[in-house]
Amino acid sequence: MLQHVEPATLGRNLLVYLVGVALAVVGALGLAGVEAVDLPVVVSGALFAAGIVTVVTVHEYLDGPF
C-alpha cells in the first residue's frame, strides 16, 4: 500500500538517490572506456563504488527513494 511521506523527506531521498545514480553512471562510463568520460580506471572504479554504496544506503537506511 502507499504510505504518506513528508515532502522534505521525499526530496532529500530523491536528491541523494540522484547523486548516487549519477556517480555510478559516470564511473561505469569511465570503466567502459567511453571517450567522452576520460577518467583513470582507479577514479572510475571509486566513483562507481561510491555511487552503488549511496544507492544501497538510500534503499536500506532511508527507506527507499519514495
Q: What is the pLDDT of residues 31-50, one digit of tens each?
A: 998 888 889 999 999 999 99
Asked whether residue 29 is domain-assigned, the answer is yes
DSSP 5: -
Whether 5 shows a pLDDT value over 80: the answer reads no
How many other C-beta atoms can be found within 10 angstroms of the C-beta atom of residue 32? 9
Asked whether residue 12 is domain-assigned, the answer is no
To the nearest 10°, report the CA torsion of 51, 57, 62, 66: 50
Asked whether residue 2 is domain-assigned, the answer is no
Q: Which has the closest alpha carbon to 41: 49, 30, 50?
A: 30
* Confidence grade of residue 65 (pLDDT, cut at 50, 70, 90): low
Domain limits for position 37:
17-61
Asked whether residue 27 is domain-assigned, the answer is yes
User: What residue type is 43 in one-letter code?
Assistant: V
pTM (whole model) above 0.85: no
Could you give the number of structural domains in the chain?
Answer: 1
Rounded to whole angstroms, the Cα distance separating 46 from 39 reads 11
